Amino acid sequence: MRAVADQQRRVLGNGELYELIQVGERVAHAQASSVDAAAAAHGRSVVTPHAVVVIADSGVAGSKCLLPARGGDRAAAGVPNDRAASGHRGR
């Protein structure tokens, strides 16, 4: 996740980058924030501009990672196809 954050540092402002990292860490640890809870209660999702991501999960506990959602960036980050985006675990 930190490698992707370093890559995104060129695109995102410090506040957006911090929020992106926090979202990734909450997802990886299955924790919700008060912002997430408020948005869910009102039927809205929280959107961070320029921070569209894919959460890839290999199926091993603690193995989730935050990846940029754009195809070229995803390939550069080592995700060969859209299987990570679809949640496919190869089983």
What pLDDT is stored for residue 23 in this prediction? 73
Q: Is residue 24 assigned to a domain?
A: yes
Q: Is residue 80 part of a domain?
A: yes
Average pLDDT of span 44-49: 50
In the chain, how many domains are there? 1
Q: pLDDT tens digits for 2-39?
A: 666 666 666 666 677 677 777 777 766 665 555 556 65
Q: How confident is the model at residue 77 (pLDDT cuts 50, 70, 90)?
A: very low
Mean pLDDT for the chain overall:
56
Q: Do 83 and 74 meet the contact criterion of CB atoms below 8 Å apart? A: no
Residue 49 lies in a domain: yes
Which residue range forms the structural domain that includes residue 49?
2-86
- 51 falls in which pLDDT band (50, 70, 90)? very low
- Tell me, yes or no, whether 72 lies in a domain: yes
**Within-domain flag for 44:** yes
Q: Does the residue 91 lie in any domain? A: no
Q: What angle do CA 26, 61, 6 make, to 5 degrees?
A: 50
